Amino acid sequence: MYKMMFDNALPPGSKPECAEQSGHPLELIAYFRRFRPGVVRNLIYTFIWNMGFIAVFAVLTLLFEPHARLGPALWANFVIGNCIGYLIHGGFALGRVSLMPWVRRQAFVLRSAYYAAITTGGVFGGYWLGLTLLHWSDAREFMFSAQGATEIVLLSLIISSVMASIFLARERQARAEAAFQRERARVESAEHQFHLAQLKLLEAQIEPHFLYNTLANVISLVDADPPAAKKMVTRLIDYLRHAARAGGTGEATVGRQIELLQAYLDLMALRTNARLSYQVEMAPDVAALSLPPMLLQPLVENAIKHGLEPKVAGGMVRVGARREDALLVLTVADNGLGFRTTRGDGSGGLGLANLRARLESLYGARACMTIEDTLPGTLVTLALPIGSAP
């Protein structure tokens, strides 16, 4: 029975060694990786690890010693196994604090010696403590004999070698995972740059037709209505100034985009001979929120082009910006003919196609755009997570 308890004591020691280095040995099982590492968790894992070996060696005790009783065999293995397991656990925990940076720099032989020293010390100490608690003085004296000490050292070395091999395998896995993470970060960085370039291209597709049409209107007014031409040029300059400020930083605030949008709507009102009116409502607490440029203007462009321009009497565009919990909600409504009346698919053309692509690049599935018929007109709503845009 002494021999069986001795064997049982050693495997628990192997556990702390692995735990000390890069996680608990139980983390070799996927289920145990679900729980966050910590002192309490590792102590519980050590107990589970110990109990597995205790059960195995209790069975071996009964097989090799048929006359042994189950209760005493289980109790003896329980006491000695936990004493050894937790002493080794403590030894590696102390080593992690004081020696681990040095140990990690050493060659395999020195690290194996380190594991062997802690395991052997834990086995000797745990065995002595367990036998003391069990009041087995004869067995305690035997462990310090030449034969007993030799058995403990040999078994400790075997366990240490096994655990060192396990640790080195996990260390190689950790290095491979670190290399994978570095490569993934490099790929994500490249994808981010690609998306930025793609967004610049999408923004470039939005601007030209508006600029060309506005300049054509200015030319037509120079002789017929010079004051109106002058006002249109002034507002065009304001618009371009706001657009350049947003484009130069790659980022804008809601307040600045509203200013840009107001300059745009002023120009459109001049171009349509007052057939267009507009209203902007922005909650004060959203003015300073960050917002990627050119998200609102495509919505307003489509409201005018597909909703109001085909309507003889014109109409009104209403723009809103408010906060709802962790979302920035942007709305563009018109009382025109509606997207689906003028376009059967309700797509809104190039402007909204570009906008959908930008939202996908910036937010993925976290942003939501809805288009509703309001009879008359259309309501487009953007719900964006605050502080999530790159």
State both tokens at 266. 């002023």
Q: Is 101 found in the same domain as 169?
A: yes
CA 175, 108, 17 angle in degrees (round to 5)? 75
Q: What is the DSSP string of 39-56?
A: HHHHHHHHHHHHHHHHHH
Q: Nearest CA to 339 among 383, 382, 297, 304?
A: 304
pLDDT in tens, the chain (390 residues): 333 333 333 333 333 333 333 457 677 677 887 888 888 888 898 898 888 878 877 787 778 777 778 888 888 889 988 998 888 888 888 887 888 778 777 776 787 777 778 888 888 888 889 888 988 887 777 777 888 788 777 767 776 676 667 667 767 777 888 888 888 888 877 776 776 666 565 555 545 666 777 788 888 888 888 888 888 888 888 877 777 765 555 457 899 889 888 888 888 888 777 778 889 999 999 998 988 877 888 888 888 887 787 777 778 999 999 999 889 999 999 988 876 544 544 455 566 777 787 788 788 788 889 888 888 889 999 999 987 655
Could you tell me if residue 198 is inside a domain? no
State both tokens at 189. 């960085």
Q: Is 259 found in the same domain as 161?
A: no
Q: Is 159 found in the same domain as 16?
A: yes
Q: Nearest CA to 167 among 248, 90, 96?
A: 96
Element (H, E) at 279: strand 276-282
State both tokens at 277. 């009116």
State both tokens at 328. 């920035």
Q: Is 273 found in the same domain as 155?
A: no
Instruction: Give Cα 56 distance to the centre of its chain.
Output: 41
Please give the pLDDT value at position 157: 73
Domain boundary among 185, 206, 236: 185
Please give the pLDDT value at position 341: 46
Q: Is 263 found in the same domain as 130?
A: no
Could you tell me if residue 171 is inside a domain? yes
Could you tell me if residue 210 is inside a domain? no
* Domain count within the chain: 2
Q: CATH code at 358?
A: 3.30.565.10
Q: Is 126 found in the same domain as 31?
A: yes
Q: Is 129 found in the same domain as 261?
A: no
With H, G, I as helix, E, B as strand and everything else as coil, classify residue 290. strand
Q: Is 235 found in the same domain as 158?
A: no
CA 334, 336, 337 angle in degrees (round to 5)? 130
Largest CA distance in the chain: 119
Element (H, E) at 149: helix 146-224
Side chain identity, residue 388: S
Domain boundary among 166, 185, 204: 185
> How long is the chain?
390
CB 49 within 8 A of CB 10: no
DSSP tag of 375? S
Q: Is 247 found in the same domain as 123?
A: no
- The boundaries of the domain holding residue 310 are 225-385
Could you tell me if residue 199 is inside a domain? no
Please give the pLDDT value at position 193: 73
With H, G, I as helix, E, B as strand and everything else as coil, classify residue 376. coil
For CA atoms 42, 48, 53, 58, the dihedral sign is positive
Could you tell me if residue 207 is inside a domain? no
CA distances from 76 to 125, 175, 282, 359 (A): 16, 41, 75, 66
Could you tell me if residue 209 is inside a domain? no
Cα–Cα distance, 278 to 333 (Å, whole number): 10
Q: Is 284 found in the same domain as 153?
A: no
Please give the pLDDT value at position 84: 85
DSSP tag of 303? I
Q: Is 371 found in the same domain as 280?
A: yes
State both tokens at 178. 């670190």
CB 384 within 8 A of CB 363: yes
Q: Is the peptide bond before 293 cis (omega within 30 degrees of 0)?
A: no
Domain boundary among 134, 158, 185: 185
CB 89 within 8 A of CB 19: yes
Cα–Cα distance, 266 to 88 (Å, whole number): 78
Give exposure, 309-318, as e/b (b: 16+ Cβ within 10 Å). bebeebbebb
Could you tell me if residue 205 is inside a domain? no
Q: Nearest CA to 16 among 90, 102, 82?
A: 90
Could you tell me if residue 154 is inside a domain? yes
Cα–Cα distance, 85 to 309 (Å, whole number): 81
Q: Is 152 found in the same domain as 31?
A: yes
